[in-house]
Chain A
Amino acid sequence: MKTILKTTSVFFACAMLVACGTSSGVRTGGEPAAVEDRTGAAAGAEDGVVTAGVGTVGSFTLAELNNPASPLFKRVIYFEYDSDEVAAEDRETVAAHARLLAANPGVTVTLEGHADERGSREYNIGLGDRRAQAVRKLLEFQGASNSQILTVSYGEERPVAEGHDESAWRLNRRVELVYPGQ
């Protein structure tokens, strides 16, 4: 119980940092726009969260998210073109995350859906959303609760690989499982 409380407090600290960092990072302007160079202004949102291990929780620990030997270490699921089907080899990964969430009702995860750059941007937002929903369903079937999962689709807006061919595209068609503080 104590560890769960610690987990949630880590989450809230992080959520606050995210909120603070982004609200100060956005500038709107009229004409003329007040454009400032604010390099580093949003660094808090990206890098300001530091977490420590929180001990054993259920059958998994959050610390295992950083253990390369744990199935929880894998937090990216890849997809085929225009598809939202979770591949057979990724199902065990998703199942491990479902067990973590089921055992730790205070833990939340954000599923960030992404698409490759081909086609139109808003349709790709739809594709990223569909991929995130596919992972959400699998997590819920295996014990995670709906309220533990947030989804956001970035479509093609945040690629991890920059090329304009399949070697980059296959890395960009993905869902990332993002835990607070990781």
Chain B
Amino acid sequence: MNYAVRILLASLLGLMALAGTARAALTIEITQGVQGALPIAIVPFGWTGPAPNAPEDVSGIIAADLRRSGRFVPFPEQDMLSRPHSAAEVNFKDWRVLGQESLVVGQVNATGPDSYEIRFQLLDVFKGSQLAGYSIPVRGAALRRAAHHIADIIYEKLTGEPGAFNTRIAYVVAKKHVNPPRYELQVADSDGYNPETVVASPQPIMSPAWSPDGSHIAYVSFEKRRAEVFVQNLAMGTRESVAAFPGINGAPAWSPDGKKLALTLSQDGNPEIYLLDLGSKALTRLTDSAAIDTEPVFSPDGKEIVFTSDRGGRPQLYRIPVSGGRAQRLTFEGEYNARGRFSPDGKRLAMVQGQGGKYRIAVMELDSGTVRVVSNGALDESPSFAPNGSMLMYATEARGRGVLAVTSVDGRVQQRLALQEGDVREPAWSPINLK
């Protein structure tokens, strides 16, 4: 019931106010599989309603989510021996013989004009018992989101960790071959559906960053032919300019309490890290070196900032207390390490690592210092952790175009999200508790 209330609230809050047009502007392509994933059978859900088919393929969305995580292998639909829609119709032998450990059955019912009910059950095939079962009332426009939410429930029941499917991603699309060129900051569901443009400009847009509560996005815009940092309210579409100093205004990063932004400014002559208090607008300079200091990011406990600096000759990652003090170098492997991003638990740091002319995504374990390269492109950049820490999204190059890719944090599962038009770049994964 709690889940049903949350889903209803989500739709009431207008998150899905786009009238059910789930355009698949991003298409998903699995580029690498994984061994050891859990077998799960997701039976196509039943449907009762006036139309011949349900408005969304709810069970298909759930299966695609679970497959994308790399933790599950959904069983092929065409090989199923039976197609039950509720636990009462299940013959567990059918599924044991197919080697399935978990089974998802369900039904979508139309309950009125534009209102639906999704019933589903997650079953343990070997015990023949139910692990979860819910009935979720939902409006038509929220069906996809409800399906992602069900995938989150299943993921959490079976892995013990929260899912991150019912989340969103922000990214920049550059359309350079239209006149004038067009740069768009878009927000979409975590599977690339329901893209919406929140800002469009003929000049570059960069560095989107979600506020910790998911209500605002900070970004850099060159619309006035100079860099300026804006903070935009996503629900309202209103925005505020928070940094328009001479020179660089870049690399915004939110403090975990949402009250401050770390920024790169060059008003004093060269790029330095500053803290901006969003309430009082007070500005504190954090670094002071003749080098390029940029790409700040707060640790999840809010106590320190990791940033990129070439004070040692080449770009490397450093950390500094938010109260100021001495910067300490963090990265020693690789010729080039830049744009650090903490995992949500603060135990890992993802970065862009350059070595032998290739730029790839690497993940460092902060306690041991072990570094693992998790991507295999030549020009990979902008890593962003899923809010549950299980996956990383980053920007890469495929057939001459900028595309987004997702990898499990161990690098074993790789998958691409490709947009139909333009270069897609700078993905930023939303927090889990979207308002």
Contact = CB atoms under 8 A, between A and B. Distances in A.
Interface in B330-372: 336, 338-339, 352, 354, 359
Q: Is the interface of A mostly helix, strand, loop or mixed?
A: mixed
A4 interface: no
A176 interface: no
B100 interface: no
B224 A19 contact: yes
A155 B225 CA distance: 13
B234 interface: yes
A26 B223 contact: yes
A170 to B, nearest CB: 15
B236 interface: yes
B200 interface: yes
Interface residues of B, number: 67
Given A30-B233, A35-B197, A164-B397, A120 B247 contact: no
Nearest to A123: B338
Interface stretch (B12-20, B26-34, B143-151, B154-162): B12-20
A141 B198 CA distance: 44
A138 to B, nearest CB: 16
Nearest to A132: B247
Contacts of B107: none
Contacts of B236: 30
Interface in A111-138: 117-123, 125-127, 129-130, 133
Contact of A123 (B19, B197, B294): B294
B206 A157 contact: yes
Interface stretch (A36-44, A68-76, A86-94): A36-44
B201 A26 contact: yes
A118 B359 contact: yes
B315 interface: yes
Contacts of A100: none
A126 B251 CA distance: 10
Given A31-B234, A120-B308, A157-B206, A125 B382 contact: no
B322 to A, nearest CB: 19
B17 A122 contact: no
A117 B315 CA distance: 15
Looking at B176, B204, B269, B314, which has the most chain A CB atoms within 10 Å of its CB?
B204
Contact of A30 (B235, B295, B382): B235
Contact of A42 (B196, B198, B202, B207): B202
Interface string A143-182: 0000000111111011000101000000000000000000
A107 interface: no
B92 interface: no
B388 interface: no
B11 to A, nearest CB: 12
A46 to B, nearest CB: 6
Interface of B: 14-15, 17-19, 176, 178-180, 187, 196-204, 206-207, 221-227, 232-239, 247-248, 250-251, 264, 266, 269-271, 292-295, 308, 310, 314-315, 336, 338-339, 352, 354, 359, 378-379, 381-382, 397, 400, 425-426
14 contacts: A25-B180, A25-B202, A26-B199, A28-B199, A28-B238, A28-B239, A31-B234, A45-B180, A118-B359, A119-B338, A120-B338, A122-B264, A126-B294, A157-B222
Interface of A: 18-19, 22-23, 25-35, 39-43, 45-46, 82, 110, 117-123, 125-127, 129-130, 133, 150-155, 157-158, 162, 164
Sorted from nearest, which 9 A-B pairs have the closest CB atoms? A30-B237, A126-B292, A157-B204, A120-B338, A42-B202, A120-B339, A122-B251, A32-B18, A126-B271
Given A46-B180, A122-B207, 18 more contacts: A18-B225, A22-B201, A23-B223, A29-B237, A30-B233, A30-B236, A41-B202, A118-B354, A119-B359, A120-B352, A121-B207, A121-B381, A129-B248, A129-B270, A152-B222, A164-B379, A164-B397, A164-B400
